[in-house]
Structure 1
Amino acid sequence: MIPAILTLNAGSSSLKFRVFARDGLSLMARGAVSRIGADAELAAALTGEPERRTPLAAGGDHAAALQAVLDFLDAHDEGWRIEAVAHRIVHGGTAYTRSTPVTPQVLQDLQELVPLAPLHQPHGLAAIAAARRLFGEGVPNLACFDTAFHAGRDPLFTHFALPEPMFEQGIRRYGFHGLSYQWIAHVLAENLPWLHRGRVVAAHLGNGASLCAMHEGRSIDTTMGMTAVDGIPMGTRSGAVDPGAILLMQRSFGMAPEEIEDLIYNRSGLLGMSGRSNDVAALLKDGKPQSRFALDFFALKCAQAAAAMAVSLGGIDAMIFTGGIGENATPVREAILRHMAPLGKFTSMVIPANEERMMAMEAALLL
């Protein structure tokens, strides 16, 4: 039997998985369940084989999605034995600054952080609950946090300009996409050590998006703050909004907190500005003025954020793009780099995201 690590990345209506050999971390299987809660479908493949698509029963939850993943693995058993399940958990707060085994206390602590990551935290916890039921106590569950990479930053980069007691109560800048940035730091250390030691601005640009200032593999500054809605605009999230505008929505427009939350998380960003889509490929193809404006705005805000990250680093040696937009939308990358021309000469490159492998590496260390 081949000892293996299963990684799970749960979204609101999706569950992505990878299976890695524990020794050497070679990828053995991958796939995802999409449209959980509706007409769900599993698309999965063993490494080197074509993808298989399987429709699932409508209306299933994350537990049903994970059961479908396990059924696929059982049906295509390559002689592996799952020895741990590593979960991407978006928010670890101040208590969890590194990957950790899941215990009842850990679950309770992470549940209390749901208000800080309402789009992500509940689904990560649902995947943990499903895995604990389906695998039992014999297979450990490990939580890998998107906030952990940003722990230990200078207080200058973790505060808001609010009274200190608010900071002590948790109103602080945490930062996200840490597993993605940790992977970039690993790749640089392995392949480009001179850049790893340098001043790197990394841009994780996808439906969720942020930038990170990195030096010697550590996070120095990042655009996201207390929640994953802050910073640059995203697919459906607004990014930074004047707090006074939020108050105006409540006082003058009569919007309830739940309505505002839905607005800034689900109906803003590229979708809200274009009035058409949060899909960059679709907006590039569309070519209508609103779509072009949304993409121009996004590129400008990314470049302005990159300049801020360069200030935090005292300069910039490299700009690294990752994530679905960062890797695939060449016109958007080029627009960002054009706006960054006043920063002078620096290297730019694409490093494909691989959060799942980073999670497997974390799990192997914990095991």
Structure 2
Amino acid sequence: MREDPALAPILVANAGSSSLKVRVFAATGETLFAGIASEIGGHSQLTAGGRSEALPLPDHADALAALLSAAEAGGFDPAALGAAAHRVVHGGPDLAASAELTPDVLARAEAASALAPLHNPPALAVIAAVARAWPGLRQVAAFDTAFHATIPEVGWRYALPDIPETRGIRRYGFHGLSYASLVARLPSATGLPLPRRLLAAHLGNGASICAIRDGRSVATTMGYSPLGGLTMGTRTGEIDGNAVLEIARRSDINRAAQILNRESGLKALGGASDMRALEAAGTKTAAFAIDHFIHWAIHQAGAMVADMGGCDAVVFTGGIGENSATVRAGILGGLAYLGLTFDPEANARGNRRLDAAGSRVLALIHPADEESWIAEEARQVISGS
């Protein structure tokens, strides 16, 4: 008989379009295993236990099997798992909290796949692979859209007619697991109360900014899908609807989706989707791509500040937010009108607190840890609390 699921280790799977991150957490929160499969379906790489090797991983199910084999080789018995939890980017219009994957919840997540075509299908593939491997194992979905359920209707509703062709087309918002974790953990990390008006920037290959007032999302830059808002690694960010229609007219709807989601953003402007590669390139096109990223982050941050009625702190998270001093300095420089000052040397070192004495607005760095937050959410769901 399996151990009480609320006390047993939990497998957390975070599936991207061509990657799969897996962590196993003990009930104490300790990480028992961590591994990542990258470039799934291409030049696949498996990294676990401090080692990395090239492996043929044609799909996410194979990636999961390889990661679990690595866990066994490292001394963890997957049979000891009490539950599996998954990051599911889009919950659609009805799923506003983490939930056990009943047939109904699974069907709703599948229906939302068209809204997050790079993310939901891989997550669903991993969910199916876990169900095949352990038919009786309880599974939980944590939705990236859930945190933004508090955005008022005037903020999430598009000015569209209420007709069948437009049903479900609204602003959803994403990176909610990162923002929820930040709200819960920032006070203990800084030793300060949660700022009342918090401008949170999750900057990575996917990037967004969220206006968090009194711990609740009141606005965010991503909209109907993770395509909207800021310039991103391979995604356009904000673009006029008629421009999208014109791209589709010149090609077809599938080709348009490929261009907008996989061939645009930093990759289109600077030749690489990775900010580290752009910063190292030293070319005019790379510099322009970085400037574009910073410009549109400042531009949209202004709207988020307006929605909160001011700003008490700016916090950076995500791979770019945590590691790129260039991007942080550019954005903070553009927000100097808020009364924000910061120490460039501290900014370059990546200290958690970036502000200088006398600043009216804090500037902070907080590491993203979506997986441990998903584990916490899953334990609450399966324990019924």
TM-score (norm 1): 0.92
Q: Is the 8 A contact 1:67 1:134 kept in 2?
A: no
* C-alpha distance in 1 between matches for 2:234 and 2:77: 42
Aligned to 2:291: 296
CA positional deviation for 1:39: 3.8
Q: Is the 8 A contact 1:321 1:349 kept in 2?
A: yes
> SS at 1:29's partner residue?
strand
* C-alpha distance in 2 between matches for 1:101 and 1:205: 29
Q: CA RMSD in A?
A: 1.8
CA positional deviation for 1:248: 2.5
Aligned to 2:24: 19
Structure-to-structure mapping, 1:29-40, within 5 angstroms: 29-40=33-44
* C-alpha distance in 1 between matches for 2:165 and 2:320: 33
* C-alpha distance in 2 between matches for 1:357 and 1:189: 17
CA positional deviation for 1:152: 2.6
The one of 253, 256, 263 aligned to 1:260: 256
Q: Is the 8 A contact 1:17 1:32 kept in 2?
A: yes
* C-alpha distance in 2 between matches for 1:78 and 1:118: 33
> SS at 1:112's partner residue?
helix
> SS at 2:25's partner residue?
strand
Q: Does 1:7 align with 2:12?
A: yes
The one of 364, 371, 382 aligned to 1:356: 371
> What letter matches 1:257 in structure 2?
I
The one-character-per-residue Cα deviations of 1:123-179 (angstroms, maximum 9, x if unpaired) are 010010011111221x11110000001013211211112224479711110000000
The one of 141, 144, 147 aligned to 1:143: 141
CA positional deviation for 1:71: 1.4
Structure 2 CA distance for partners of 1:61 and 1:249, relative to 1, 3 Å: closer
Structure 2 CA distance for partners of 1:167 and 1:317, relative to 1, 3 Å: farther
* C-alpha distance in 2 between matches for 1:111 and 1:323: 27
TM-score (norm 2): 0.88
* C-alpha distance in 2 between matches for 1:222 and 1:103: 29
> SS at 2:174's partner residue?
coil
Instruction: Count how many residue pairs are aligned between Structure 1 and Structure 2.
Output: 356
* C-alpha distance in 2 between matches for 1:170 and 1:289: 42
The one-character-per-residue Cα deviations of 1:97-118 (angstroms, maximum 9, x if unpaired) are 1111112222221111111111
Q: Is the 8 A contact 2:11 2:22 kept in 1?
A: yes
> What letter matches 1:347 in structure 2?
L
CA positional deviation for 1:59: 4.8
Q: Does 1:272 align with 2:276?
A: no
> SS at 1:86's partner residue?
strand
The alignment-based identity, stated in percent, is 42
Aligned to 1:110: 109
Structure-to-structure mapping, 1:6-85, within 5 angstroms: 6-22=11-27, 24-45=28-49, 51-56=50-55, 58-78=56-76, 81-85=80-84
Structure-to-structure mapping, 1:146-161, within 5 angstroms: 146-161=144-159
> What letter matches 1:183 in structure 2?
S
> What letter matches 1:232 in structure 2?
L
Q: Is the 8 A contact 2:231 2:293 kept in 1?
A: yes
> What letter matches 2:9 in structure 1?
A
Aligned to 1:127: 126
* C-alpha distance in 1 between matches for 2:42 and 2:105: 30
> SS at 1:151's partner residue?
helix
* C-alpha distance in 2 between matches for 1:52 and 1:192: 33
* C-alpha distance in 2 between matches for 1:25 and 1:215: 28
The one-character-per-residue Cα deviations of 1:305-343 (angstroms, maximum 9, x if unpaired) are 111111000000111001110010101110011111122
> What letter matches 1:302 in structure 2?
A
CA positional deviation for 1:52: 2.5
* C-alpha distance in 1 between matches for 2:283 and 2:232: 19
Q: Is the 8 A contact 2:231 2:237 kept in 1?
A: yes
> What letter matches 1:201 in structure 2?
L
> SS at 2:81's partner residue?
strand
Aligned to 1:326: 321
* C-alpha distance in 2 between matches for 1:195 and 1:161: 37
